[in-house]
Structure 1
């Protein structure tokens, strides 16, 4: 390495020994001192974050996102300020500004930033009320939303403090390298940055993330062993977990027990539909049902054979979300439409909620979905073609990613199953992304068409599912997605790139006031993810009874009429309190 002898005077100027040897009061002042260019940019980014996004946000989430974006803006502003001072103002005779101009400029900047922030908070509260009204939700108040400013200040200050601690650590390491090894200032600083960066990422990725993942997995594995109040072991032999079942009740997990214990029986279906019904079949394997995925699939196939699933009219494979959850409304809709002549099969692959599985191990979902669909399809092919049931696939949220894992192309889907309904697909879905990328020219990303809807279609409401726009070949493939669903539109690319859906006219339930800003929009939509299902039916990630319309469109039940649809919808709505999605 380069060794350079530095005199005490030059070393003092470059290393800034006041930081290392000065009085504690000086250190504290230097730590607290703010860059006023940074303050201006922090205010700009904070104000950008107050603009509307996909879903209404309360003051708590807005405060968190506002603070993160303000810290990013402060970092950008300090960097720009440093460049301007170094390369533009440095040799100007009038710089730095004399007193009282210097102090006056700082006061003006500070006061302006406070006033602008307060005005934007008032505008933001109005935007949030407008967005809430668009979705039929309750809006916020202006006075209540002002709390956002205080919380954002605290969050931003915390992030900047961490950054400054890391910066001081770099300086400390650089000073030690210079004193001990007589390195050049740039070399010592570079080495210090590298050391701190490596230590930081080792701490976050190697300790914090793994620790959080392990703790979360442990916490949700405990929940997996519990059972919801009022949920009881089924006695019907058509259900996994029953006394006759090969999948014991206590091995199904929290969501598996919910799934098999629910649903209308033959008498209730007969009363709802007015015609004699069958008891629906529900097959499920939990993580504890067998030691490994292959063994769980063996149990699934044995259960399908035991219950007579291959003699039913419809066999539906449901790759689950992270915890093994199956949307109760979707399951009920399928059974009501086919009057119980159905078999639903699902399998758990994780303890963790979808958002954690998505971040930590999304490949596991695709592998689990492929294994489930492949094994069921392999056994289904052994049945006589004339008498075997329709084989269909349903998936929601991360379950769509699990389902897509079984197929490489649209042709592969059409050669394997008799129809697919995928609801609320994550933006990272491989097949969905390819279809969106290759959509027909002139069609918007939020409401795309692919090959004029010949094989696959996209819909955000029941009107989009009406087959009056040309031929739609069977088997049908349908994606249902809301313009306001952050699960569908969230992507890391939002930090740096404006997507097509924000260049186009907004969808039905997206605010036209939503704009794209670098970094800011990414964090806004990230915050929306936390409340994706917390909005009324028909918005965000809450699809309500729209899954019924989607299922009828894909399954094409014989002799079905709009009257039948509304009859089933009425039944689903009456069950929503106890049998609907857990939000």
Structure 2
């Protein structure tokens, strides 16, 4: 046991005091509130990353000062006082901010309607954060060691300074190659292959449809087994004509849903063409309203949003969608942002090419919707907001990721004085943003062709961006904050980025109306977008009550 403590003391002796001081400051910052509640182990990860960043900045500051020729010669007594002072500060600050962190998390939980968590779990945050910090520190030291070895080798052939630069370039180039080169492509291919095997499962309670209005039925050219897990879930769900009539009291049609799985064709364009064939088979182009939906990840569609659309239109609808990947949404969000855009363009263009040639007086209204990566990919079909308003009769974009080009352009060009969390565009003439249905109520008249961006102030998917590393966003500067965002949340360089990053992990595991969980408000959104003459406010409340009891499938 004594030898273990001796090793620990020797290791601690290798740590830089300035780096430790900065790490302690970053520890306190990492405990501050973020958008959503974090479970204790994720808080430990966030804090560990913050410790590593603080330590790196501290050592960089010390190195820079030394390179400027400033090298204070501290006496041994002064060093001991400094170390003891730092130890005392740590003994006070660490427990204090663990307690404050638990308290801040409790406030955030109350804001999003979640039960309180045990504050005792926060005692483990320090242990996890130290472990994460150790791993990151040793990894960086390994890179430094590799660079030094390469420098020594290069000294045989080039001058000293050139050898240092060359070794650093080689190490960084290898790192980039590993991350973005062959290894990256191999991992994506392997992940697609691996998840394609899991795509054969069908959730409990989902059965093959036996009606012509569904893909995957005996009358469909799309085999049930080819639709993928999410496709089968979507085709095996949704309201019947009788259920719609029971809610509205009006005669309804059986809603049409068509879908094609990724394995149905060798190309994404080929999959999109199969969807169009299914629309022709089912009579989708003869319905009152046709919706083109870009899915998330491996083919998920928000059932609340889809069902609400069908209820509001009395079932006189057709929904066209498809699977474009086997990757789950979180992995696709990080690793594959190109495929959703390709799929969004392919599906919309295939449907639009058929739709535009129909007689104007008989063709259905054309609308689009998508959530998360589906919103990102779906908007890629348009050259801008004017193009979108020209080509569709309505749109509902839900929980749009921050890196979506269309969303960025529209948000950045918002009316002066409007907030980033709820931009106002041209007074709300055609495009409106909403966290709650009441946000759609603006003074200006709303055109018949309506586009809605539905986004929660506490949704990290919408607000996560690499810009958070070094730049304070408008949504953290503007007042008032969103109704479910802690006023105590502040932007801290580097730290806030990792806080929001880890908020995304469980962003959908919060009550509806918060984070990345979009549910019963879909009734209000579609009622406002489609504004059918037969739909009533009472119908909206009935539909909200129905959707509240739905259980969302896993994305």
* Bucket of the pairwise TM-score, normalised by the shorter protein: over 0.9
Residue 63 of structure 2: aligned partner: 82
Q: Superposition pairs for residues 305-344 of structure 1, below 5 Å?
A: 305-344=280-319
CA distance in 1 between partners of 2:320 and 2:298 (Å)? 15
Residue 363 of structure 1: aligned partner: 338
Out of 452, 457, 461, the position equivalent to 1:483 is 457
Residue 98 of structure 2: aligned partner: 121
1:173 is displaced (CA, Å) by 2.4
Residue 166 of structure 2: aligned partner: 191
CA distance in 1 between partners of 2:159 and 2:357 (Å)? 75
The answer to whether the 8 Å contact 1:43/1:70 transfers is yes
1:359 is displaced (CA, Å) by 2.6
| CA deviation vs aligned residue, 1:227-253 (integer Å, no higher than 9, x gap) | 222322111111000111011111111
Bigger Cα displacement from structure 2, 357-366 vs 552-561: 357-366
1:40 maps to 2:40? no
| CA deviation vs aligned residue, 1:414-464 (integer Å, no higher than 9, x gap) | 221111111111111111111111111111111111111112111110111
Out of 166, 177, 195, the position equivalent to 2:154 is 177
Residue 135 of structure 2: aligned partner: 158
Residue 3 of structure 2: aligned partner: none
Residue 542 of structure 1: aligned partner: 517
CA distance in 2 between partners of 1:135 and 1:340 (Å)? 33
| CA deviation vs aligned residue, 1:293-330 (integer Å, no higher than 9, x gap) | 23222221221111111221211111111211111111
Query: CA distance change for structure 1 residues 321 and 105 in 2, over 3 Å: closer, same or farther?
Result: same
Out of 491, 494, 502, the position equivalent to 1:519 is 494
Stretches of 4+ moved more than 6 A in 1?
none
Residue 57 of structure 1: aligned partner: 38
CA distance in 2 between partners of 1:111 and 1:86 (Å)? 30
SS at structure 2 position matched to 1:457: strand
Residue 251 of structure 2: aligned partner: 276
Residue 230 of structure 1: aligned partner: 205
Query: CA distance change for structure 1 residues 148 and 340 in 2, over 3 Å: closer, same or farther?
Result: same
| CA deviation vs aligned residue, 1:371-408 (integer Å, no higher than 9, x gap) | 21122122122322222221111111111111111111
CA distance in 2 between partners of 1:339 and 1:286 (Å)? 27
Q: Superposition pairs for residues 132-531 of structure 1, below 5 Å?
A: 132-178=109-155, 180-181=156-157, 183-206=158-181, 208-466=183-441, 468-505=442-479, 506-531=481-506
TM-score (norm 1): 0.90
Residue 13 of structure 1: aligned partner: none
Count of residues in correspondence between the two structures: 549
The answer to whether the 8 Å contact 1:324/1:348 transfers is yes
| CA deviation vs aligned residue, 1:271-305 (integer Å, no higher than 9, x gap) | 23323322111100111122222322222122111
1:476 is displaced (CA, Å) by 0.6
The answer to whether the 8 Å contact 1:423/1:547 transfers is no
The answer to whether the 8 Å contact 1:329/1:581 transfers is no
Name the larger-Rg structure.
1
CA distance in 2 between partners of 1:338 and 1:242 (Å)? 23
TM-score (norm 2): 0.95
Query: CA distance change for structure 1 residues 97 and 541 in 2, over 3 Å: closer, same or farther?
Result: same
1:207 is displaced (CA, Å) by 5.5
Query: CA distance change for structure 1 residues 107 and 185 in 2, over 3 Å: closer, same or farther?
Result: farther
Residue 50 of structure 2: aligned partner: 69
Residue 546 of structure 2: aligned partner: 571
CA distance in 2 between partners of 1:475 and 1:270 (Å)? 26
The answer to whether the 8 Å contact 1:40/1:113 transfers is no
What are structure 1's unaligned runs of at least 5 residues? 1-24
CA distance in 2 between partners of 1:258 and 1:559 (Å)? 30
The answer to whether the 8 Å contact 2:247/2:539 transfers is no
The answer to whether the 8 Å contact 2:394/2:450 transfers is yes
Bigger Cα displacement from structure 2, 302-311 vs 52-61: 302-311
1:550 is displaced (CA, Å) by 1.0
| CA deviation vs aligned residue, 1:5-27 (integer Å, no higher than 9, x gap) | xxxxxxxxxxxxxxxxxxxx99x
CA distance in 2 between partners of 1:297 and 1:49 (Å)? 45
| CA deviation vs aligned residue, 1:99-136 (integer Å, no higher than 9, x gap) | 23212311221331242122111111100000000111
The answer to whether the 8 Å contact 1:272/1:571 transfers is no
1:202 is displaced (CA, Å) by 2.6
Query: CA distance change for structure 1 residues 49 and 31 in 2, over 3 Å: closer, same or farther?
Result: closer
1:523 is displaced (CA, Å) by 0.6
Query: CA distance change for structure 1 residues 138 and 209 in 2, over 3 Å: closer, same or farther?
Result: farther
CA RMSD of aligned residues (A): 2.0
Query: CA distance change for structure 1 residues 30 and 189 in 2, over 3 Å: closer, same or farther?
Result: farther
1:582 maps to 2:543? no
The answer to whether the 8 Å contact 1:45/1:69 transfers is yes
SS at structure 1 position matched to 2:210: coil
